[in-house]
Amino acid sequence: MGLLNGKIASDDLIVLAQAKTVSARKELVENVTDLFLSSEGRLSEHERALMNDILCKLVTTVEKSVKKELSRRLANIPEAPRELAAFLANESIDVAEPMLRQSEVLEDEQLIEIIRNRSDAHRMAIAIRAHVSEEVSEELIEQGGEDVIEALIKNDNAEISDLSMKYLVAESKNVDRFQEPLLNRHDLPAELACRMYWWVSAALRRKIILDFNMENVILDDAMELATKTAIQHNDTTDGVMRIALNLARELAGQNQLDMTFLLKCLRQEKVNLFVASLSELTGLDVKIIWRAVRERTGESIAIIARSLEIERDNFASLFLLLAQSRSGGRARATSLVNSILALYDDINIKNAKVAVRHWQRDFSYQNALLTVKDAV
């Protein structure tokens, strides 16, 4: 076929490929990469097409050590032949990894094909690429194991669609390792962070409360109110709770629902009426209030109280009374009381109000988690 740019002939490459010596293998790798590495461009387009065909045939005959070295050298070359890059990327992971992690010549269609047909090790290498498109991310989430998905979530340069993000948030209820990486992503919507609040650890709850910027979230208050009202009318609370809710609504109509009344309910151990009253004041479903009441650490009650702009001393009394109702009157540890008061001081009122408004809209979200996965 003649000399290519006066350097080495294709026949010479084949001879090197067929040779069994270490020196021949080394020379082969060096000459192949040299053909594509020069900034001046050693090959014309026609010569590149010819070499691409030759190399794809030639690489099938060489041993794995040569393929590994080729993959390592070609992974960072923007002008590497696409077919050869795809061939190496489909090899066993010890050969494919450099190409999968670094090569810019691999197209999304090629990456998706590899995700569907190769191992989780191949998917992991793709998940940590410098850039991952939404389409590739969706395929990794569909096909990959938990290690792969966690690596993808941790990759700030991975694009994740809104639908995929909702699915991952739903999955994080059962897969704890997804939670912190999701909350660390810059593109996680505040609405989804609020949903996660109900199942993440205390440390991550504090992160949501203190660190997550919710000020710019746009909420459709009318829709939230209409949705909440429609569902409340179909609530299946027991008779005692229904009576408490009716009484709370009557008292609200008479402007008698205030902090004094809430504390009075707790001192008289009328917890049902307290829950109903707090539900009426906040617009939150009683299921959410009950969950907050039963929570030992008090973060949820702190957010709810902060959204109502309850004074610090009143909140301290409320927290202690709730703690006593749960523990049969036993005193609470001073460290826990100090901790929840410190948190209360740090909670931004605007963020607390936004969080509560999200909970108004999403209180039935927990019951729909399984359908989210089916809808994706």
Answer for the pair 279, 245: CB distance below 8 angstroms, yes or no.
yes
> What is the Cα–Cα distance from 1 to 188, expressed in whole angstroms?
56
Residue 161, pLDDT > 90, answer yes
Encode pLDDT of 246-271 as tens digits: 899 999 888 889 999 999 999 988 88
Distances, alpha carbon 188 to alpha carbons 45, 85, 160, 203, 376, in Å:
44, 34, 9, 18, 18
Per-residue model confidence (pLDDT) at position 374: 35
Does residue 42 or residue 118 have the better pLDDT? 118
Residue 143, pLDDT > 80, answer yes
User: Which of 4-13, 48-57, 353-362 is the least confident region?
Assistant: 4-13
Where exactly are the structural domains of the chain? 1-105, 221-375
Length of the chain as a residue count: 376
- In degrees rounded to 5, what are phi and psi of residue 79? -95, 10
Amino acid at 208: I
Query: DSSP per residue over 80-107, as a string?
Result: S-HHHHHHHHTS-HHHHHHHHHH-SS--
Residue 48, pLDDT > 70, answer no
> What is the Cα–Cα distance from 235 to 231, expressed in whole angstroms?
6
Encode pLDDT of 269-310 as tens digits: 888 999 999 999 999 988 889 988 888 888 899 999 999 999
